Amino acid sequence: MPDSIREWQPLCSSSDLEEAGKAVLFDVMEFGQSVQAFAIRYDNVPVAYVNRCAHVPTAMDWQEGQFFDQDRRFIICSIHGALYHPPSGECVAGPCAGARLLAIELKEQGGQVFWRPTQRLQPLF
């Protein structure tokens, strides 16, 4: 894959990601199709995933940009109740235990958050 395809893409300001708060939603291309992704902050580290449950491919937020359970400890699928460990995306309870969300690599630098495309996930152009 050419290096230009893997260049870090600006996502948001660091301050847009509050600890265990509302997600920043963004769209990416997955195999030529537009899909929604989300970024959150957990334990002061930004993480991002494709907004798709590992059990059944459906959006997980219970309200737009709201992914955390009531205790703000886990990402929860609003359809199936599956619970995901925010740092790893691993399902720790529910119908897909052991499966993982599709992660998107992030870095935080200079007060900004960036995401890194892969062969599978590309920016919308």
Interval 7-21: pLDDT, tens: 999 999 999 999 999
Q: Is the pLDDT of residue 3 over 70?
A: no
End-to-end CA distance of the chain: 17
Query: Per-residue pLDDT tens for 38-80?
Result: 999 999 999 999 999 998 889 999 999 999 999 999 999 999 8
- Which amino acid is located at 85 in the chain? H
Domain with 114 in it: what CATH number? 2.102.10.10
Sign of CA dihedral 27, 31, 114, 85: positive
Q: How confident is the model at residue 6 (pLDDT cuts 50, 70, 90)?
A: confident
| 65 CB-near residues (< 8 Å, 6+ apart) | 22, 23, 24, 25, 38
- Which amino acid is located at 5 in the chain? I
Residue 113: domain span: 3-122
SS (H, E, C) 5-54: HHCCEEEEEHHHCCECCCCEEEEEEECCEEEEEEEEEECCEEEEEECCCC
Q: Is the pLDDT of residue 111 over 80?
A: yes
Query: Averaged over 14-32, what is the pLDDT?
Result: 97
Report yes or no: 6 and 113 within 8 Å, Cβ to Cβ.
no
Q: Full-prediction pTM beyond 0.85?
A: yes
Query: Domains in the chain: how many in total?
Result: 1
Report yes or no: 33 and 26 within 8 Å, Cβ to Cβ.
no
Query: Averaged over 75-96, what is the pLDDT?
Result: 95
- Which amino acid is located at 12 in the chain? C
